[in-house]
Each structure stands twice: as structure tokens, then as C-alpha cells.
Structure 1
């Protein structure tokens, strides 16, 4: 048994600092920039790159790497020809609710613009997901998502034409699809959702208005109606720098 002096408590993890203690110069600049962001507050405009390089005594390339990290993390955002401190990320609950409901709870104004509303024959994969016959007509509804007039995502919804035959005539593409379903007397009973990180395709990045290198959060949802039958398939791409997702968990059950 060791009767010597007690061991000191384990030091808390050092954020971003490797065990060998050698910290890349860009990371030191990033920590200094984080202090500056706190001083400026959301919406505050950063000084120019020339001014920041002089302030921290680093090359422009080093500064840009630090800024790039903060942009990808959603701490900064481009505004015109400048850079400003970003506000908090939008928290979207993982629940069977519409995008409108989730964004509205954040005190933001949701919006959508229509990219396409097409009627097409279901291929084998889509037919299986929607519980229809192959080549049966389905709607493909594609829309850009907005929060306070900022483009933040891209949503593609597939649903059988037989379920909502008048979708192309009496649905407002700027509105909530789930609110439209409820108005038609249709209720969803549940869904399976999967999340992964991806990079947007060039087309998707252009529609959302982001650089292709910006990480995205991709949600795949397959919904069921109140009777448990397949109803819709949704693919939603969210900007990784603007969104986070929340889920309330209950206590584990004993087995």
C-alpha cells in the first residue's frame, strides 16, 4: 500500500491543447479571437484581416486558418464583404414536428421558397419507403428553408400522389406541410429519423448559399400515418454552422 503523499487530483482536460503542450500558432490566435468575439457580442463586426494580423502578430495565412475554424463552427458569419459575430445556433428538437414549429419556438421567423414540385413515378426504393407500387405517381416537393430571411437548409419531401392528390393546387409552398396535412384530416403517427454529417453537393451549396466545404447535418425521415402505414420520406439538409439538435431523454427502464 502506498503511504506517501496523496496523488493530486486529475487536472481538467485542457481544451484543444495536446498532451505534449505544443499548440499550433493558428489555435492560439483562435483562442484570442474567441475572447474578441465575447467582447463584440452577436452582430459585432470584426476588424479587417490586416488589422487582426497586426494585432496578434501573425501572418495572414495563420489568421485565416483561425477564422476558417470559427466560421465552420458557426461562431462567425460572412455579412457582405465583412465578418460578424454569429448569434446562437438554432436548436431544432428531434420530434415529429414541422420545421415551422421548431424555428418559431426559437423566436425566429420561418420561411420557405419553392425549388420544385414534381410528379414522378416511384422507383423501387421509393416505392418500398412509401408503401406503394413501383411506378405509382409520387410528389417530390423541394424547398429552401429560411430563418429570419437567412437561408439555412434544403428540404426534399416525397409522398404518394394518392395521399394528397391536390398538393400542386391547394398547398402554399411557403407554409408548413404538416399543417396542410392536418387541414386535410391526415395525421402522422410516428417516424424513424437518422442523422449524419455530409458535405453539400455543388447544387445544394448554391441553393443554400454556402461554400461546398461547409459541413452539413443531413436528416433522413420516414414517417408513418396514424394506422402505422408508410406515409412520407423526407431528406433535409441543415447548415452545420447554424443548427444543433436537441432530444429530451427519460430515465432508463430496468430490465
Structure 2
């Protein structure tokens, strides 16, 4: 006999039982979160939430219970901090997992991309980076570090490494406020053919959190990419750190065989 139970209290496109555990006892903060979500829908994108004191009084809960619900919504990207207050966040940016630049991905969603230069330095590659770029540990690389912006909001941090031998005049030829992929394609005449990419969830270091403007406890999405040209030669090694509350990633899958 098939003793599997049918999902209860579920609707198409919603989680089974909307997150309620099987024993049916809902944590108080989770119930408050549901009430807050209703309020967010009423306020709309950019709407300012009342103070924590007022919200706690409205829902009849302790301030710490309310803060736990707000923390969940912050991590999920439903709200964001603005000064000392909290406002309703817009939809997350969807970045494609493909060989396109950050600039192209953000513009496709009607947002304005931008970058803020932290530094452009020449450093020794070392063992790992030298192996990834195929230049050996003593080869020199450019390290380009920039804060990523979307509509002037800080959303990520990007470190790009390329061989100095291949791009000897990068500091002269490249505008750090512009798209590096556009420079590679239109100025350096590089044509990408393939890339290896890995994604993981991390917490930002204190320095990274300060640069991106997020709380240190906010989960971040970390992407490592090594891109190669048509000859199979490594072109760049990129480490991109994105705010988990502002970004999601998409890709298109097809069956193998």
C-alpha cells in the first residue's frame, strides 16, 4: 500500500505547507514574517517600513522576535537597509551563467551598471594563479579590483587577474569605469571560447563587507571563473562576490547525449 501523504495547504508554485512543520507549531518569528510580507506587498518597492518599536507593538511581539523575522527577509532580499531605516527591496538581479559581462547582464534588466575602482596593481602570480593562467609562479599579473554597482547601489566586488605579458599597457589602455569584456573584445581583440566556473556561498570578510556595504553576516555568492580564448589559452581569472540578497543566477540546461 502506498502510504505517502498528500501535501497539505499547498498551492501551485508555493512551498509545501508554506514552510509550516509537520507538527503544525509555527515559530512566533515565522508568523510575524508572514505578517511582514503582507505589509511589504502593501507598501510596494521602495516603501519605508515603520520603526522596529512600532512594528513590534503592531504585531504584539518582542523586539528580538521582530528582528529575527526582519533578518530572514533581509537575507532573502525582500527588504534592504537605507540609512537607519528599512525599505521594501525590488526584485533580485538575475545574472546569466554565460560568457557575458556584468555590464551586459545588468543592462538587460533595465538597470544601469557601474563600477568603482579600488586598485589596479601588478603582482607576482604565485603558484595557484600562475598555474591557472599558464604563466608560472614568477609571472606578473594585473590585479584589477572594483566594486560593482547597479543604479548606484553597491551589489558586489570583483577581482580580475590577467597576464602582464599579454596586456602590458592595461593601465594606459583600459578605462576602469568601463566593461572589461568590452575592452577585451573590441580593443585587445580577444575572443572567448570557454570558461570553467564554480559557485559557492560564503560570508564576506570584514574588508569585503565594508567595501560592498553589507552586514558581515549576510550570505554572499562567490563565483570563480577561468576563461580561455579560441586557442585554449587562459585569458583571465575572475573572483566575483555578489550580495546574496540582491542577486540570483540563471542558466539554460539541455540533456547530454
TM range (shorter): over 0.9
The aligned residue for residue 27 of structure 1 is 30
Q: Which of 222, 225, 231 does residue 229 from structure 2 map onto?
A: 225
For residues 22 and 9 of structure 1, do their structure 2 counterparts lie closer, same or farther at Cα, with a shift above 3 Å needed?
Answer: closer
SS in 2 for 1:96: coil
User: Where does structure 1 lack aligned partners over 5 or more consecutive residues?
Assistant: none
Question: Structure 1 residue 9: deviation in Å?
Answer: 4.6
Cα deviation 1:60-109 (Å, max 9, x = unaligned) = 11111111111111100111221110000000000001100000101110
Work out the CA distance in 2 between the residues paired with 1:81 and 1:229: 49
1:164 positional shift: 1.0
Provide, for residues 207-239 of structure 1, a one-character-per-residue CA deviation record: whole Å limited to 9, x for no partner. 111110000000000110111111211000000
Equivalent residue for 2:49? 46
Does residue 148 of structure 1 match 2:126? no
8 Å Cα contact 1:112-1:143 kept in structure 2: yes
The alignment covers a number of residue pairs equal to 250
Per-residue CA deviations over 1:181-228 (Å, capped at 9, x if unaligned) read: 112211111101000000000010011111100000000001101111
Selected match of 2:213 from 204, 209, 212: 209
Partner of 1:194: 198
Query: What is the aligned-residue RMSD (CA, Å)?
Result: 1.7
Write the distance in 1 (CA, Å) between the matches of 2:233 and 2:62.
Answer: 60
Q: Does 1:91 align with 2:94?
A: yes
CA contact (8 A) 2:7 2:17 kept: no
The structure that has the greater radius of gyration is 1
Residue of structure 2 in register with 1:159 after alignment:
162
Structure 1 residue 133: deviation in Å? 2.4
Q: Distance in 1 between matches of 2:201 and 2:180?
A: 25
Task: Note the C-alpha offset of 1:15.
Answer: 1.6
Instruction: Give the Å deviation of 1:134.
Output: 2.2
Give the structure-2-normalised TM-score: 0.93
Is the CA contact 1:131–1:231 (under 8 Å) kept in the aligned structure 2?
Answer: no
Q: Residue 129 of structure 1: SS of its match in structure 2?
A: helix
User: What residue ranges of structure 2 are gaps of 5+ in the alignment?
Assistant: 11-15
Question: Scaled by the length of structure 1, what TM-score is found?
Answer: 0.94
Deviation, 1:51, is: 1.4
Deviation at 1:49, TM superposition (A): 1.3
Q: How much does 1:155 deviate?
A: 0.3
Question: Tell me, what secondary structure is at the counterpart of 1:111?
Answer: strand
Distance 1:249 1:46 in 2: 39
Task: Find the residue that maps to 2:19 and give its secondary structure.
Answer: coil
